[in-house]
């Protein structure tokens, strides 16, 4: 897909070309812009958070005080593993609620330890695409799951990102309680 930037007077045009980035660059790009590419209202807690047998790429809190596990992938085929990884991390967050509540409240000092809703921990997968198996499996996972597809384009001087929510179980199932 080609993306073009047209000047306000309509006389100049700049073409963006698809651009690949490694996972660390993607993670940094999303985090440095307040996670708004993923969802408005997310508060960044920390990156590379130890959880069980791995590390959560980005841990955030949404406006309803629910932990949000965000996993970034640069390969569409990796999205199936990312869903399993994220479910494992969610299990560890729920299992270690006291530890993670202190961890989060230490990072976000305005958030009380007892105000975090671990029962409705959310998962957000960010990838250039998702295999059909991931889209279908996400619809059956009890925890709220959101799939966000991204595309990055670049010119010699500028960079652009496009994000699209592919699936969001909170909009199809309503709020969990």
Q: What is the mean pLDDT of the chain?
A: 87
User: 176 pLDDT exceeds 50?
Assistant: no
> Could you give the CA distance from residue 143 to residue 138 in angstroms, rounded to a whole number?
9
Domains and CATH numbers, the chain: 21-151+162-173 (3.40.1350.10)
Q: Does residue 65 or residue 162 have the better pLDDT? A: 65
pLDDT at 172: 61
Q: Note the pTM of the prediction, 2 decimals.
A: 0.84
Per-residue pLDDT, 144: 93
Please state the separation of Cα 115 from the chain's center in Å.
22
pLDDT of residue 2: 66
Angle among Cα 79, 22, 122 to the nearest 5 degrees reads 40
Specify whether the CB–CB gap between 59 and 104 falls below 8 A.
yes
Q: What's the confidence (pLDDT) of residue 173?
A: 52
Q: Which helix (H) or strand (E) holds 151?
A: strand 145-154
Reduced to 3 states, what is the DSSP secondary structure of residue 10?
coil
Beta strands in 62-116 (DSSP E): 67-72
Q: How confident is the model at residue 175 (pLDDT cuts 50, 70, 90)?
A: very low
75 C-beta neighbours (distance < 10 Å), count? 12
């Amino acid at each position: 897909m080609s993306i073009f930037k047209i000047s306000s007077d309509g006389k100049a045009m700049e073409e963006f070309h698809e651009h690949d980035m490694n996972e660390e660059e993607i993670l940094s790009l999303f985090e440095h812009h307040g996670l708004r590419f993923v969802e408005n209202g997310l508060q960044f807690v920390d990156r590379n958070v130890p959880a069980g047998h791995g590390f959560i790429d980005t841990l955030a809190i949404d406006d309803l005080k629910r932990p949000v596990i965000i996993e970034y992938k640069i390969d569409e085929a990796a999205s199936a593993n990312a869903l399993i990884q994220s479910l494992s991390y969610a299990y560890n967050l729920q299992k270690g609620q006291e530890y993670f509540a202190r961890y989060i409240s230490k990072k976000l000092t305005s958030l009380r330890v007892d105000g975090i809703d671990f029962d409705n921990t959310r998962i957000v997968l960010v990838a250039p695409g998702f295999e059909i198996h991931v889209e279908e499996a996400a619809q059956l996972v009890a925890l709220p799951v959101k799939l966000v597809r991204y595309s990055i384009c670049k010119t010699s001087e500028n960079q652009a990102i496009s994000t699209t929510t592919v699936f969001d179980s909170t909009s199809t199932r309503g709020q969990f309680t």
